[in-house]
Amino acid sequence: MSVHLHAAISPGEQRAYVEKNYFVVHEFHYDWQIYDRKYNAYVPYLQEKHGSLNAASIPLELHAYEGYELVFYTEQEVYVFINAALQKRFDADTWVTLPMDSLLAVYRNAPQQSTTVNTSQVFLTFYSPSGLLPLPTAFIGHKKNVQEKAAAAAPTLTVLPKRASAFQYFLIIACIFILANYAFLYNLHPTAFARFYSVKSLFGTSYRDGVAPVGKPLNGINLLFLLNHGFLLALLYMLVREGSRHLFFTEQVLRTQESLPDYLYNFGLIGVAVFFLLICKYLGTYVLANLLRLDKIVNVHFFEYIHYSKVFYTFLVPVLVLIFTSYPVWIDKADNLLVALIVGFALIRILLISLRLNKLAPHRNLYLFSYLCVTELVPLLAGIKILL
């Protein structure tokens, strides 16, 4: 067994370290199990259902990985048990390498607890007082030597994890699809395109004549622009999910596997869902504005909301795509900054929209404030709770 202490490193840096130094044979993303008291048995671990835990286990067939090594990185103090017997305690920020052959030499003839038949299978259990299990980086592989590293770095050969490769293919398809939509919309209605994506008109405090510039909000042209915006936000969700490994929906809604068809299915489903949520937002604001006798500002409000969102996310999403494709070590920093950036943008958008709408309803400030609270602040607070 070899143990190496390092300064704390992010999940993105962990992935970069593994790709540089190891050939990965098997990753344990879907092998983790936890003990379920309800069924009195071990069940598969599901991140969206179980969250972070104090204990997580992995069944390991030693014969299947002869000659390889078990490698994991722990960000916190962790205790490792083999077949329910404590083996060793590891400090935080530690890389651990355990040869399979050494385990096989000890447990080759170890009987299973439930049978008298000898087997080479062992049951590894990790326990952490901090409750941050399972480990994000744990795999079977073998270390690259100098020649293998040089070959892997050659421009004619690139070694990528299977999961990352599928996501890269998905990114290419999704980006081409959205760019094609932009080109189609620009050629279909250049005037509407220019008004939806105008940066110059973002920071004014008045709105000429209080009339929406591209017809009614739910006419055919606007629905196409909304649908494209829905797919842009769906791509943003996929990027955040891939970087943080956090799901905001259960496995009954989205597929948790990571093949290319699963990525495309989730992308399409989320894009359509966002599209219908935007329509519901307009209908909700329309009903509320009529109750408060502010019906003249509904179209202006909705157009400005979409206008700000389209410009902001059209700049934000390509930056995230660039980080994922070219600068993976920045992924964790980008994820940490993203929430603050989106919340800050939403607050600025509320302020600018309120200034514009105030020009259209100068004698109903109390009603306007109530209207903005319900249509903007409450959804923002709900969104922050989901993100955090």
pLDDT at 275: 93
pLDDT at 246: 53
pLDDT at 198: 82
DSSP symbol at 90: E
pTM: 0.56
pLDDT at 330: 82
Architecture of domain 2-153: Sandwich (2.60)
What is the token pair recorded at 368? 């306007």
HSE (side-chain half, CA atoms, 13 Å) at 204: 11
> Which own/partner pairs from 202-210 qualify as long-range (CB within 8 Å, at least 24 positions apart)?
202/307, 202/308, 202/311, 202/352, 203/352, 204/356, 205/352, 205/355, 205/356, 205/359, 206/356, 206/359, 207/300, 207/304, 207/356, 207/359, 207/360, 210/296, 210/297, 210/300, 210/359, 210/360
List phi, psi (to 5°) of 147: -65, -40
The helix/strand/coil state of 67 is coil
| Sequence ranges of the domains in the chain | 2-153, 162-387
In what helix (H) or strand (E) does residue 280 lie, and over which residues does it extend? helix 260-291
Residue 62 in contact with residue 100, Cβ under 8 Å?
A: yes
Amino acid at site 271: G
DSSP symbol at 202: G
DSSP symbol at 53: B
Which value, in Å, is the radius of gyration of the alpha carbons in the chain? 26
* Partners of residue 81 on adjacent β-strands: 86, 125
pLDDT at 285: 81
pLDDT at 316: 92
List phi, psi (to 5°) of 67: 90, -10
List phi, psi (to 5°) of 195: -75, -35
pLDDT at 243: 73
pLDDT averaged over consecutive 10-residue blocks of the chain (388 residues)?
63 81 86 86 83 87 86 88 87 86 76 49 88 86 66 45 67 93 92 84 54 67 92 90 62 64 90 91 81 76 87 91 82 80 85 77 59 67 60
Residue 144 in contact with residue 235, Cβ under 8 Å?
A: no
